[in-house]
Amino acid sequence: MKKRIHNWRSEWALTLPSLLWLSLFFAVPALIVLAFTFHAHSANGGVGAWSLATWRELVDPDYPTIVWKTIRISFEVTFWCILLALPCAYAIARMKRRWRALVAASIMLPFWTSFIVRVFAWKTMLHPDGWLQACYLGWLRARAWLFDWLPGFAQQALVQCGLASAAPVDPASSTILDSEAAVIIVSVYSLLPFAIMPIYTAAEKFDFSLLEAARDLGARGFYAFRKIFIPGIRQGIVSAVLMVFIPAIGSYVIPQMLGGTDCVLIGNKIFMRAMQNRNIPHASALATLMAVTVLVPLGLAVWWKKRQDARDRKRLETQTARLLSGRDPLA
């Protein structure tokens, strides 16, 4: 009994500093921001009396479009980061040990410079007379050609979701700078290391002899990669998705510097309401809305992980019971 009480006290002593840190620097500020949403805007830029006027202002028809654009761009950035991170992490994990640390360190090299400097460098590279602009025009023409081949209902659905445009490609107005494409490209560049590292960490623990065994049994390379390697590192992929999606959905600097007036996201609206309009309650309501948008995929990821762990535990118990009963555990 005394030993159990001692262990309980030791656990609390170890976790109490973390709980205090989270309470002071996360929970309390979040509650303050939430409380601001139930106040009216003061004329001098402060917080007025208790009111629901701030939430009524969010009925503005522009906000659903901005929220959808923010979520869509965040998902696109996350998709491209994971798509590029998987082969990179696979290649690094298959390298010799003396090269892994060097390559992993080179991935983090961009973080040794200022984030603003890197964004300015990309702004120069995306100049309308640069080679990236020529590649962008080629991509737009290819996408327009594919769009013309789709049936009418598919074209209408893509246009309504904001994934395509029915207008012809105009080289004069179709510049990559001050567009969604610039925001996506630079966001992928900035967040790609956050996708590579957790996937690489999971891939480093993966048993690559399973891939060799699958090839010996006749499985092709991509089939073995998709059916064996990716399921074996799924926890690293989930971590990478969260580490990319959460900062992408709250991004402000990249859309502000490279997105122009056509790519205004939630982060830009929060800055405009808080700094330019001095409307703290409205900015707090938008921040709360963004937090809910982040917590939904986070909750889904936690639910999915618990479900996978329960399924793996049940499969292990079934195989153990079959083995103890003298039957084939894989039958």
Sorted by sequence, the CB contacts under 8 Å of residue 50 that are 6+ apart come out as 38, 39, 40
Are the C-beta atoms of 81 and 192 separated by less than 8 Å?
Answer: yes
Query: What is the largest distance, in Å, between two alpha-carbon atoms of the chain?
Result: 79
pLDDT in the model for residue 6: 52
pLDDT in the model for residue 310: 82
- pTM of the full predicted structure? 0.76
Question: How is the chain split into domains, by residue range?
Answer: 25-57+265-304, 64-126+177-262
pLDDT in the model for residue 195: 93
Are the C-beta atoms of 186 and 73 separated by less than 8 Å?
Answer: no
Count of CB atoms within 10 A of residue 319's CB? 15
Q: pLDDT tens, position by position, for the chain (331 residues)?
A: 544 555 666 667 777 787 788 778 888 888 888 888 888 877 776 777 887 777 877 777 777 888 888 889 999 999 999 999 999 998 888 888 888 888 888 888 877 888 888 888 888 888 777 777 777 777 777 877 777 777 777 777 777 766 666 655 555 556 778 888 889 999 999 999 999 999 998 988 888 888 888 788 777 778 888 888 888 888 899 889 989 998 898 888 899 888 887 788 888 888 888 887 788 888 888 888 888 877 887 788 778 778 877 887 887 777 677 766 765 555 5
The domain 64-126+177-262 is placed in CATH, from the list 1.10.10.10, 3.40.50.300, 1.20.120.1200, 1.10.3720.10, at 1.10.3720.10
- DSSP assignment, residue 56? H
User: What gap in Å lies between CA 242 and CA 94, rounded to an integer?
Assistant: 25
